Structure 1
Amino acid sequence: MGEVLGGDGEYPHEKQRGPVVLRRARVGEPTTTDQRLLDSRGPADWVHTDPWRVMRIQAEFVEGFGALAEVPRATTVFGSARTPREHEEYQQGVRLGSALAGTGSAVITGGGPGTMEAVNRGASEAGGLSIGLGIELPFEQGLNPWVDLGVNFRYFFTRKTMFVKYAQAFVCLPGGFGTMDELFESLTLVQTKKVTKFPVVMFGRSYWQGLYDWIRDTMRSSGKIGDQELGLLHLTDDVEDAVRVVEEAYAAWDSTH
């Protein structure tokens, strides 16, 4: 901007830098935003500052929403990256992925090895849409070869949003801290009605029974949760039973959308 008339009759300098107004000694040399962009050759430390991280976070949301916008009904399956291929839990994951694909459902996993790979493999081999949402970690190996549509994320919370936004049900296979985090975040979102009509299936009784009993006998008995919250969980060993619960969730979701 040019000069504006001040209250004392003088014409102090005023300049706008986007939404920021600079006056008097703050004005400095006249430049434009384009000029500062093209002429800048300073240190690169600014790319690690919080304002720049906000842009990266925004970009991750945009990329994720764009990649997944046309995904049909889907089930998010959580599980361990450490399960070897010869383990029965891996074979259960393959069967589960295949059965879900047989209903016309896409499957969404964390895209890693172990039971995540197993579910992606089962879905892909059955002709279903196999989705993997990877995460930048120092010790993970990237997306497994059975992912047909993959998106990699830097930030856990961006990735978690995609797990929830594009699914109508959650299935938790045996897993470690990451799986526990996803299980309890899913329960919290359902309990607080941030998402609705979402079943949370704990698949594998021998693995989950102790945790389920503790939730029932300690959390519920001490009044920390009620019967309704306990009812959010469905414990099973049977692929067909898990798929039945998921299909009921699809029907409930379809009735409200």
Structure 2
Amino acid sequence: MTGRGDQRPDEKQKGPIVLRGERRNESTTTDQRLLDSRGPSDWVHTDPWRVLRIQAEFVEGFGMLAELPRAVTVFGSARTPRDHLEYAQGRALGTALAEAGYAVITGGGPGAMEAANKGCSEAGGLSVGLGIELPFEQGLNDWVDLGINFRYFFARKTMFVKYSQAFVCLPGGFGTLDELFEALTLVQTKKVTKFPVVLLGTDYWGGLYDWIAKTVLENGKVGEKDVKLLHLTDDVDDAVRVVHEAYKAWEDAH
């Protein structure tokens, strides 16, 4: 029997970590694996190291965006062609937001995201891109003035919500839908307040809006006030008006 503070015969100490049984047979030390460049590199993929990388992403994001002026995040498909009307609308939206005094934040990719960044940058606004490491998507578009790439979606999502006063969703796919419903959930549960969510494009978003306003509401899965969290429009100026009115209400309350 061993007393408190005594080491068992089958026990090995690695800093604050205790290894027992077969786990104690590891022959190398943390310092050795760190300093020996000839050794395996698997350690950079372990969970404890991953925690530090996650922490670093939050630190970098908070540090870069801490002094960002009031901003609006624009979501939309990376697959939107440059000659498409949706691209032109995204560009017009970026311009209108910049002229209204808002920075524009996007996912930093091509398509609708590029369009919003381009419109903002051309109008003299601050164009921000928060990219994500993906196996099939290129890096930040050329119209991003301030950009950062993330490894982890959840760190990136935090930045979108924390540093935006509103979300405007252009037509998009799973990524846009993911961000849309994330925002709605946060507003519904009052994790964030005074946060309008605008769907720009009635032909594209109308079916989803009707499904929520009818099927989901009529089945009691959401309340009427939840449906009102969404604003559906085709008009860029109307979208900016919704954003600005919500921002002014928040400003007056604070």
String of CA shifts for 1:64-114, please: whole Å, max 9, x gaps.
111111100000111000000110000000100000001111000000000
Within the candidate set 92, 95, 99, 1:98 is matched to 95
- Do 2:80 and 2:112's aligned partners in 1 also have CA atoms closer than 8 Å? yes
Q: What is the percentage of aligned positions where both structures have the same residue? A: 77
What's 2:39 paired with? 42
Which runs of structure 2 are paired with 1:72-221 in the superposition (5 Å)? Answer: 72-221=69-218
Distance 1:246 1:21, change over 3 A: same
Q: Which stretch of structure 1 is more off in the superposition, 216-225 or 37-46?
A: 37-46
What's 1:59 paired with? 56
String of CA shifts for 1:142-190, please: whole Å, max 9, x gaps.
1000000000001111110110000010100000111111111110011
* Counterpart residue type for residue 254 of structure 1: E
The structural deviation recorded for 1:254 is 1.9
SS of residue matched to 2:178: helix
* Counterpart residue type for residue 218 of structure 1: T
CA distance in 2, matches of 1:39, 1:181: 42
What's 1:3 paired with? none
CA distance in 2, matches of 1:34, 1:43: 13
2:244 pairs with 1:250: no
SS of residue matched to 2:213: helix
Q: Structure 1 stretches (4+) deviating beyond 6 angstroms?
A: 32-36
* Counterpart residue type for residue 183 of structure 2: S
The structural deviation recorded for 1:39 is 6.3
CA distance in 1, matches of 2:250, 2:31: 48
CA distance in 1, matches of 2:33, 2:203: 62
Q: Alignment RMSD, CA only?
A: 2.6
For structure 1, which runs of at least 5 residues remain unmatched after alignment?
Answer: 1-5
The structural deviation recorded for 1:240 is 0.8
Distance 1:85 1:51, change over 3 A: same
Within the candidate set 221, 224, 229, 1:227 is matched to 224
For structure 2, which runs of at least 5 residues remain unmatched after alignment?
Answer: none
The structural deviation recorded for 1:43 is 2.1
The normalised TM-score by structure 2 is: 0.88
CA distance in 1, matches of 2:193, 2:67: 21
CA distance in 1, matches of 2:177, 2:148: 22
The structural deviation recorded for 1:42 is 3.4
Q: Which structure's CA Rg is the greater one?
A: 1
The number of equivalent residue pairs is: 246
CA distance in 2, matches of 1:223, 1:71: 39
SS of residue matched to 2:140: coil
- Do 2:91 and 2:116's aligned partners in 1 also have CA atoms closer than 8 Å? yes
